[in-house]
Amino acid sequence: MGLNVWLLLSAIIVITAIVSVRIAHRTGLPSLLIYLGLGLLVGESGFAHIHFENAALAQQLGLVALAVILAEGGLTTNWQSVRHAAPAALVMATVGVAVSIVAFAVAVQGLLDLSWRMSLLLGAVLASTDAAAVFSVLRRLPLPPRLAGVLEAESGFNDAPTVIVVTMLSLPTAPMPSTWDILVNSTYELAVGAVVGLAIGPLAAYLLRRVALPASGLYPIAVMAVAFLAYTGAVQLHASGFLAVYLATLIIGNSRLPHRSATRGFAEGAAWLAQIGLFVMLGMLASPSELPNAIVPGLLAGVVLVLLARPLSVAVCALLLRLTRIDRISWREQVFLSWAGLRGAVPIVLATIPWADGMMGAKGVFNEVFIIVIVFTLVQGPTLPFLARLLGISAEGEARDLDVEAAPLEELKADLLQVRIPPGSLMNGVEIFELRLPANAAVTMIVRDGRSFVPSETTKLQAEDQLLVVTTAAQRQVVEQRLRAVSRKGKLAGWYGERGLT
């Protein structure tokens, strides 16, 4: 096919993928499933009959796409929301990953008649939760900030250790690495990767605040270039590029940068494009004729992962956090964390590493991982809202971020919050002035029954109302706490001693 035909096909795929986002949003499914389906449709058994079996190229492109997705995750993560969850996320991304790999390997070694090396490899491939899947699903759920922060930060951190373990286990000519070898190499790569990210992030934020670029569109490009600088710099030092890029962009995204909203918008668009290209490519890489043979072992491995390895890793981390008094995770939160460990592009990309290295049986691992991602994403993704309500951990009255492109808010250092009043909230019937928000915060608009209007001081709030609240960044936490307090105890929340603390 000529260049124009390739461009035409690419444009059709991208437009179709963008339209499908609406379908995914309504059904609660991560859009990755639709993108994988598009890849299968244009692959060797689809209408385009494109034969793509270059695992090495897929691996390289996949790792770059994951770096872009992690960069967007870092830029759009609110550090104030995940700050208290970071210790728990780090424990789950390290200790939790190790427990998950070992528990999975012990269970499937006899169940699927695999060697110890292959069992550990498959466990390492599946141990990492996927940032793209987690961000796309959980950011639409009304979860408490701490719980959502644990899941987001864990998905950003745990790619790094799993890549290290998978790479060490995938060398067919090397002997089986010892526990000590894995521990030493992982410690080095994570430590150096963290140093690179923590060095580049603040320096880039400092320079971007002081360099007056001639066009606003150059700032997003500069930020993405810095992200790749962090990634490639760490890789050249044989360290974790994923950890470096996530930490660097997390620091940049939480700095007061010029045109920060435009930068985040650009990064979000780049991440969407990376997701579309990545999942379509992985769908093309799969061979539909080989997938039926992987259904039974894939389903068995998936059941072990979801019902044994992931819950056990969460339970061990919760116990460790409790014994060290770092954090306390309730049993309800443990159940939700176990079920919300979504898998997506990361395991499929990691499965290309042993395949590209020529490891015997690696193609079968790829097919099994492909089946696991499709089936268990279909099962877990749509059921997360129901599970959150069943466990009583949903927080539909919480203030949530609303992406805003208006420059004046950025200049005023203000935030625009979106608040939905859930059924049963004691905010129902409260008048605007009875919210007693700080002087530098105001309810600027109410959306009710599909209509929007500007409220007065005596406007009574109703269940299902959506409020737009403008507040300075300095008072945001106070505003959120007051809204939570009124939602829980009504306008006399202060008299009842309710402070709205998380």
What Cα–Cα distance (Å) separates residue 182 from each residue in 133, 161, 168, 212, 351?
A: 28, 10, 8, 46, 19
Give me the residue label for tokens 């644990």: 150
User: Which of 185-199, 396-410, 430-444 has the weakest average pLDDT?
Assistant: 396-410
341 pLDDT higher than 80:
yes
| 59 within a domain of the structure (yes/no) | no
Do residue 93 and residue 238 come from a single domain?
yes
Please give the pLDDT value at position 29: 62
| 62 within a domain of the structure (yes/no) | no
Average pLDDT, the chain: 86
Do residue 112 and residue 179 come from a single domain?
yes
Give me the residue label for tokens 């292959």: 118
For 502, the enclosing helix (H) or strand (E) is none
Assign 135 a pLDDT band (cuts: 50, 70, 90).
low
Q: 38 is written with which tokens?
A: 């598009």
For the segment 201-240, what is each residue's pLDDT rounded down to a tens digit? 999 999 988 876 777 788 899 999 999 999 999 999 999 9
Q: Give the Cα separation of 469 and 476 in Å (integer).
A: 10
| 500 within a domain of the structure (yes/no) | no
Q: Give the Cα separation of 187 and 243 in Å (integer).
A: 12
Do residue 99 and residue 27 come from a single domain?
yes
For the segment 136-171, what is each residue's pLDDT rounded down to a tens digit? 666 667 777 788 888 888 888 888 899 999 999 987
Domain count, the chain: 2
Which stretch, 417-421, 422-426, 456-460, has highest mean pLDDT? 456-460
Q: 18 is written with which tokens?
A: 């963008």
Please give the pLDDT value at position 404: 40
Do residue 418 and residue 362 come from a single domain?
no
Do residue 215 and residue 338 come from a single domain?
yes
Q: Which residues make Cβ contacts (< 8 Å) with residue 444, sequence separation at least 6? A: 454, 468, 469, 470
The rounded percent of the chain whose pLDDT value lies above 90 is 37
| 327 within a domain of the structure (yes/no) | yes
Do residue 305 and residue 365 come from a single domain?
yes
Q: Which residues make Cβ contacts (< 8 Å) with residue 462, sequence separation at least 6? A: 421, 428, 429, 448
Do residue 417 and residue 378 come from a single domain?
no
Q: Give the Cα separation of 283 and 293 in Å (integer).
A: 17
| 144 within a domain of the structure (yes/no) | yes
| 436 within a domain of the structure (yes/no) | yes
Domain that residue 200 falls in: 3-48+76-391
For the segment 15-33, what is each residue's pLDDT rounded down to a tens digit? 888 877 776 666 556 677 7
Do residue 323 and residue 209 come from a single domain?
yes
Assign 41 a pLDDT band (cuts: 50, 70, 90).
confident
122 pLDDT higher than 50:
yes
The CATH code of the domain that includes 387 is 1.20.1530.20
The CATH code of the domain that includes 484 is 3.30.70.1450
Closest by Cα among 437, 412, 90 to 261: 412
| 368 within a domain of the structure (yes/no) | yes
| 494 within a domain of the structure (yes/no) | no
Do residue 181 and residue 265 come from a single domain?
yes
Task: Judge whether 319 and 29 are in contact, CB under 8 Å.
Answer: no
The residue among 358, 391, 424 that closes a domain is: 391
Do residue 96 and residue 218 come from a single domain?
yes
The residue among 375, 391, 407 that closes a domain is: 391
Closest by Cα among 395, 413, 399, 371 to 467: 399
Please give the pLDDT value at position 405: 41
Q: Give the Cα separation of 109 and 97 in Å (integer).
A: 18
Q: 491 is written with which tokens?
A: 């306008």
Do residue 404 and residue 259 come from a single domain?
no
The residue among 327, 359, 391 that closes a domain is: 391
Neighbours of 456 (CB within 10 A): 10
